[in-house]
């Protein structure tokens, strides 16, 4: 009787069964994991990227301006120096920044030598006045006696000549006296006009020299802004137009165009525009300042600057497209006034755009709009 062993076959079947069970378990686990991953993905896709408020473009009547740069300088600066040489300065009465009036004494020069010259000239005049008086009397008597026949014509001529000579000497002495008096007046250095002292080199004890600079005076304290404007824009600027410049401290100073230069710099192709400035401490001579000229007024479609995003050198806004999605729109910007910016093209006046947080959005993002958030 034959016996067949079933042990090896049974073990093989068991291994196959285990393998099938493992594959089935892996498939079930993979399916469950995919379902679990898909569920959060669906939830993320449906979640709004940002909660936003909306704003509508608003139209304002804005000025059309021309920006420019330039230096602030003195309108006219007078150089004040001594009119007599080789005399010592005995006093300096003003300092840089002082306001002075026309005729005010700025410095004093030693006057003792000049005073002695003036006294000598006065004495010479007094002496010659006496001589001229005597010669005049002699000439008068000579003429009377000549008429009576006591003097010869030659003697009368001599007396008349002596009189004219004495008068000529007296006139020369009086001229020297006048020159000494003028020289005496030059021992005080006077302000030629009202203004502000901008520089001082005069020091007590130094000798005066011909052509030496003692002070610089900004006439009337007037300053002007010399703005450099491209030659193509010079024709748009006229005398009397308003110009506003911003001082280095951030203060706005308003002036008026006084003149436009008739020529341009051949190197820079810019022309100078001279703008009279009011008396103010915001700007000083020698400062560099930026400013703009008001040319005309025109309507401007504007948005808050927070609604405009700059990316890769271009300006964008995010317009609401549908109930809860945004569309990125490329726009062209123009003038800026305060916190608002002009939209030249790319946006319809009736559009609604994201006001804040636009920099965190991308084209097509889902957003949550705050109810009642639309503001002009």
Give the DSSP H or E segment for 55: strand 54-55
* pLDDT tens-digit map of 141-156: 777 777 766 666 777 7
Average pLDDT on 32-47 reads: 50
For 373, phi then psi, to 5°, come to -90, -5
- pLDDT, one tens digit per residue, over 345-354 is 999 999 999 9
Shared-domain flag, residues 244 and 283? yes
Q: Last residue of some domain: 271, 298, 325?
A: 298
3-state helix, strand, coil in the chain (%, to 5): 30, 35, 30
Q: Which of 298, 319, 341 is the last residue of a domain?
A: 298
373 band by pLDDT with thresholds 50, 70 and 90? low
Do 316 and 331 contact (CB within 8 A), yes or no?
yes
pLDDT at 39 over 70: no
The whole model's pTM is what?
A: 0.58
Task: Give a yes or no: residue 19 inside a domain.
Answer: no
Q: What is the average pLDDT value for the chain, to the nearest integer?
A: 84
- Say how many Å lie between the first and final Cα of the chain, rounded: 106
Examine the pLDDT at 374 and tell me if it is beyond 70. Answer: no
pLDDT at residue 256 is higher than 90: yes
- 184 shares a domain with 101: yes
At residue 44, does pLDDT exceed 50?
no
Host domain of residue 238: 67-75+222-298
Same-domain status, 104 and 181: yes
311: closest CA among 362, 356, 349, 353? Answer: 362
137 is written with which tokens? 């009397």
Q: Tell me: do 140 and 230 sit in the same domain.
A: no
pLDDT over 80 at 12, yes or no: no
Measured on CA atoms in the order 347, 351, 353, 355, is the torsion positive or negative? positive
104 and 185 in a single domain? The answer is yes
Question: In which band, very low, low, confident or very high, does the pLDDT at 72 lie, cut at 50, 70 and 90?
Answer: very high
Return the minimum-mean-pLDDT range out of 65-69, 157-161, 229-233: 157-161
Where b means 16+ CB within 10 Å and e means fewer, 281-300 reads: ebbebebebebbbebeeeeb
Region for 282 from its dihedrals, namely left if φ exceeds 0, alpha if ψ lies in -120 to 50, beta otherwise: alpha
From CA 293, how far away is CA 236, in angstroms rounded?
10
Q: In the prediction, which pLDDT does 257 show?
A: 94
pLDDT in tens, 261-319: 999 999 999 999 999 999 888 888 889 999 999 887 889 999 999 999 999 889 999 99
More confident residue, 75 or 137: 75
As a whole number of angstroms, the distance between CA 227 and CA 357 comes to 39
pLDDT in tens, 185-197: 999 999 999 999 9
Structure confidence by residue, pLDDT tens digits, 319-371: 998 888 899 999 999 888 889 999 999 999 999 999 988 888 888 888 888 86
At 310 the pLDDT is: 92
Looking up residue 281, the CATH number of its domain turns out to be: 2.40.30.170
Gap between the Cα atoms of 227 and 109, Å rounded? 41
Last residue of a domain, one of 262, 280, 298: 298
Q: What is the CATH number of the domain that holds 313?
A: 2.40.420.20
User: Nearest to residue 309, comparing CAs of 285, 329, 338?
Assistant: 329
Q: 336 and 294 in one domain?
A: no
Residue 303 forms part of a structural domain: no
DSSP-derived pairing of the beta strands 58-74 and 195-200: unpaired
Number of domains, the chain: 3
In terms of domains, do 105 and 161 share one?
yes
Average pLDDT over residues 216-234: 92
Per DSSP bridges, beta strands 50-52 and 367-369 are: parallel
Q: What's the pLDDT band for 28 if we cut at 50, 70, 90?
A: very low
């Amino acid at each position: 009787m034959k016996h067949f062993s079933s042990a090896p076959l049974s073990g093989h079947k068991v291994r196959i069964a285990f393998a099938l069970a493992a594959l089935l378990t892996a498939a079930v686990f993979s399916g469950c994991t995919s379902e679990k991953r898909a569920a959060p993905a669906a939830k993320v896709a449906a979640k709004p990227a940002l909660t936003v408020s909306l704003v509508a473009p608003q139209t304002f009547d804005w000025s059309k301006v021309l920006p420019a740069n330039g230096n602030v300088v003195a309108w006219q600066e007078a150089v004040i120096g001594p009119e007599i040489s080789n005399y010592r300065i005995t006093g300096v009465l003003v300092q840089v920044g002082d306001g002075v009036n026309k005729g005010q004494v700025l410095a004093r020069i030693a006057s003792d030598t000049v005073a002695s010259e003036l006294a000598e000239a006065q004495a010479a005049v007094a002496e010659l006045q006496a001589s001229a008086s005597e010669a005049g009397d002699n000439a008068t008597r000579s003429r009377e006696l000549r008429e009576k026949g006591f003097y010869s014509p030659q003697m009368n001529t001599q007396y008349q000549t002596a009189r004219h000579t004495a008068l000529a000497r007296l006139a020369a002495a009086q001229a020297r006296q006048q020159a000494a008096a003028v020289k005496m007046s030059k021992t005080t250095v006077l302000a030629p006009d009202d203004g502000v002292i901008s520089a001082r080199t005069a020091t007590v004890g130094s000798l005066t020299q011909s052509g030496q600079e003692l002070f610089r005076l900004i006439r009337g304290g007037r300053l002007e802004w010399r703005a450099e404007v491209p030659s193509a824009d010079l024709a748009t600027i006229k005398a009397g137009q308003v110009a506003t410049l911003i001082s280095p401290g951030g203060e706005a100073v308003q002036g008026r165009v006084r003149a436009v230069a008739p020529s341009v710099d051949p190197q820079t192709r810019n022309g100078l525009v001279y703008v009279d400035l009011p008396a103010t401490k915001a700007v000083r001579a020698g400062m560099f300042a930026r400013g703009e000229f008001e040319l005309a007024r025109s309507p401007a479609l504007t948005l808050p600057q927070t609604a405009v995003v700059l990316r890769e050198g271009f300006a964008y806004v995010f317009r609401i497209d549908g109930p809860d999605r945004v569309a990125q729109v490329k726009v062209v910007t123009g003038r800026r006034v305060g916190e608002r910016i002009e939209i030249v093209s790319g946006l319809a006046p009736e559009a609604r755009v994201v006001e804040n947080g636009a920099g965190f959005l991308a084209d097509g993002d889902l957003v949550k709009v705050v109810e009642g958030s639309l503001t002009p």
